[in-house]
């Protein structure tokens, strides 16, 4: 029973320490310091170099270090007979809620305009821009663990919330829509649109010119899901034309965002460095350890991923 930590830029030593604290008998190795590949039965992975997982002949479970698992499916040599698990963690969900509420309220309360006014020493109440939460419409693309939690909190705050998922849902206070045919209804009602979809073949590039054109003019976008959901050129055009007013982006096609990228200097774009919600090793190591225990006892594994759906 050996766990390999295969996450070169994601604090592997801290994770190893947490596992040792939980279970001093667990054999934990940090890639690339592995002598006997056949020893490895479990791998904890984040943005691993392609091809490594297929060299582990006795691998039983691959754990994603995050909620998203798109990083696995980029690797065409991913073994297909191995269980894949992802993170579902109350601290991760809480941090994402904070992020979504922070940036939603920022647009709802016209903070970008107020910051500009302060720079110009301008006193203007923006009275005609005051919109009550009950009249503000917010769209959530993705009603999974994170999207549902954000949608519910926004609804509790009395916002008018429209949510979209693949399968039908029933969430208190949230108008739920599903499938491609119902996406338009969500978009046409979303003055602030939040993306919390997994990145899959179906959702790649979904934040594009066609989608933006369905939003009310001057809508705001918050993308905390994956950079590849967004067609960057289309966002720049939509901001230039005024179809979109502002965008907050936590995730990017290339990370770190290259220093010369036009998003950095754009007056209508707010950038955060993929830190909307960062996995907490102390909290998440427990669920990985629990799944290892379950595997040893032949019990059902928690938080598994459907490889066909890629999430
Ligand atoms: P879940 O798997 O719990 O939820 C995914 C949701 O998206 C579900 O509601 C699902 O529908 C919906 N969905 C999937 N495919 C489609 C589709 N083709 N059309 C419509 N809806 C679809 O994921 P989480 O909520 O846990 O996480 C979402 C994403 O957030 C992660 O994949 C990751 O990329 C990102 N993330 C970003 C972080 C950051 O710091 N920026 C931190 C953590 C996660 P259904 O319910 O019907 O299955
Ligand atoms: C995740 C992430 O998927 O941090 O958890 O993006």
The yes-or-no verdict on residue 26 having pLDDT over 90 is: yes
Residue 161 phi, psi (nearest 5): -110, 130
Q: What does the pLDDT average to over 110-129? A: 97
Give nearest CA residue, ligand 1 atom 10. 165
Residue 75: pLDDT band by 50, 70, 90 thresholds?
A: confident
Pocket test for ligand 2, best of 66, 71, 196, 251 (most atoms within 8 A of CB): 66
**Active-site residue (options: 274, 289, 293, 294):** 274
Question: Hey, what are 310's tokens?
Answer: 């890629």
Question: Hey, what are 284's tokens?
Answer: 């998440």
Residues in the chain: 311
Ligand closest to 99 (CA) is 1
Any atom of ligand 2 within 6 Å of the Cβ of 66: yes
Any atom of ligand 2 within 6 Å of the Cβ of 68: yes
Tell how far the Cα of 66 is from the centroid of ligand 2, in angstroms: 4
Any atom of ligand 2 within 6 Å of the Cβ of 67: yes
What strand order describes the sheet that includes 244-249? 174-178, 160-165, 137-141, 192-195, 219-223, 244-249, 269-271
Task: Determine the number of helices (DSSP H) and then strands (DSSP E) in the chain.
Answer: 9, 12
Please identify, by atom number, the ligand 1 atom nearest to the C-alpha of residue 147.
25
DSSP state of 136: -
Tell how far the Cα of 37 is from the centroid of ligand 1, in angstroms: 33
Is residue 248 classed as helix, strand or coil in its secondary structure? strand
How confident is the model at residue 186, as a pLDDT? 98
The yes-or-no verdict on residue 1 having pLDDT over 90 is: no
For the question of residue 274 being annotated catalytic, the response is yes
For the question of residue 226 being annotated catalytic, the response is yes
Residue 177: pLDDT band by 50, 70, 90 thresholds?
A: very high
Tell me the chain's radius of gyration from C-alpha atoms. Answer: 21
The yes-or-no verdict on residue 80 having pLDDT over 90 is: no
Tell how far the Cα of 311 is from the centroid of ligand 1, in angstroms: 7
How confident is the model at residue 42, as a pLDDT? 98
Give nearest CA residue, ligand 2 atom 1. 66
Q: What does the pLDDT average to over 89-108? A: 98
How confident is the model at residue 143, as a pLDDT? 98
DSSP string, 208-227: SHHHHHHSPTTEEEEE-S-G
Bond from prior residue into 32 cis (ω within 30 degrees of 0): yes
Q: Which helix (H) or strand (E) holds 30?
A: strand 27-30
DSSP state of 77: T
Question: Hey, what are 134's tokens?
Answer: 């009950």
- Per the prediction, the chain carries an average pLDDT of 97
Pocket test for ligand 2, best of 10, 68, 69 (most atoms within 8 A of CB): 68
Q: Do 177 and 204 contact (CB within 8 A), yes or no?
A: no
Ligand closest to 73 (CA) is 1
How confident is the model at residue 228, as a pLDDT? 98
**164 beta partners:** 141, 177
Tell me the per-residue pLDDT of 51-62, one tens digit each, with 9 for 90 and over. Answer: 999 999 999 999
Q: Residue 204's CB: how many other CB atoms inside 10 A?
A: 15
Residue appearing with tokens 């949510």 = 163
Question: Which segment of 66-80, 121-135, 144-158, 251-265 scores lowest on mean pLDDT?
Answer: 66-80
Any atom of ligand 2 within 6 Å of the Cβ of 12: no
Rounded Cα–Cα distance for residues 65 and 310 (Å): 16
Task: Give the burial class of 22: count Cβ atoms within 10 A of its Cβ; 0-12 exposed, 13-18 middle, 19 or more buried.
Answer: middle
Tell me the per-residue pLDDT of 140-161, one tens digit each, with 9 for 90 and over. Answer: 999 999 999 999 999 999 999 9
The yes-or-no verdict on residue 76 having pLDDT over 90 is: no
Pocket test for ligand 1, best of 69, 84, 171, 197 (most atoms within 8 A of CB): 197
Residue 244: pLDDT band by 50, 70, 90 thresholds?
A: very high
Q: Where are the alpha helices (DSSP H) in 23-75?
A: 70-73
Residues contacting 54, CB < 8 A, separation 6+: 77, 78, 79
Question: Hey, what are 92's tokens?
Answer: 């991760």
Tell how far the Cα of 108 is from the centroid of ligand 1, in angstroms: 24
């Amino acid at each position: 029973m050996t766990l390999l930590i295969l996450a070169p830029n994601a604090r592997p030593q801290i994770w190893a320490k947490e596992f040792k604290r939980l279970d001093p008998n667990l054999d934990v190795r940090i890639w690339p310091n592995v002598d006997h590949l056949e020893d490895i039965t479990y791998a904890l992975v984040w943005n691993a170099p392609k091809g490594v997982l297929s060299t582990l002949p006795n691998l039983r479970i691959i754990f994603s270090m995050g909620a998203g698992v798109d990083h696995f499916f980029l690797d065409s040599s991913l073994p297909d007979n191995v269980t894949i698990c992802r993170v579902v963690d109350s601290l991760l969900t809480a941090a994402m809620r904070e992020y979504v509420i922070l940036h939603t309220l920022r647009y709802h309360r016209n903070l970008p305009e107020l910051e500009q006014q302060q720079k110009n020493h301008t006193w203007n109440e923006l009275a005609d821009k005051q919109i009550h939460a009950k009249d503000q419409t917010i769209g959530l693309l993705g009603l999974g663990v994170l999207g549902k939690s954000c949608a519910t909190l926004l609804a509790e705050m009395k916002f008018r919330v429209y949510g979209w998922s693949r399968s039908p849902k029933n969430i208190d206070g949230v108008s739920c829509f599903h499938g491609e045919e119902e996406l338009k209804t969500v978009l046409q009602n979303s003055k602030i649109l939040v993306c919390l979809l997994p990145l899959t073949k179906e959702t790649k590039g979904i934040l594009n010119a066609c989608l933006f054109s369905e939003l009310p003019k001057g809508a705001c976008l918050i993308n905390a899901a994956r950079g590849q959901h967004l067609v960057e050129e289309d966002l720049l055009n939509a901001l230039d034309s005024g179809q979109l007013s502002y965008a907050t982006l936590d995730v990017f096609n290339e990370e770190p965002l290259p220093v010369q990228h036009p998003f950095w200097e754009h007056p209508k774009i707010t950038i955060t460095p993929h830190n909307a919600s960062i996995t907490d090793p102390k909290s998440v190591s427990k669920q990985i350890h629990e799944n290892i225990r379950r595997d040893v006892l032949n019990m059902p594994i928690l938080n598994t991923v459907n490889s066909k759906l890629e999430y």
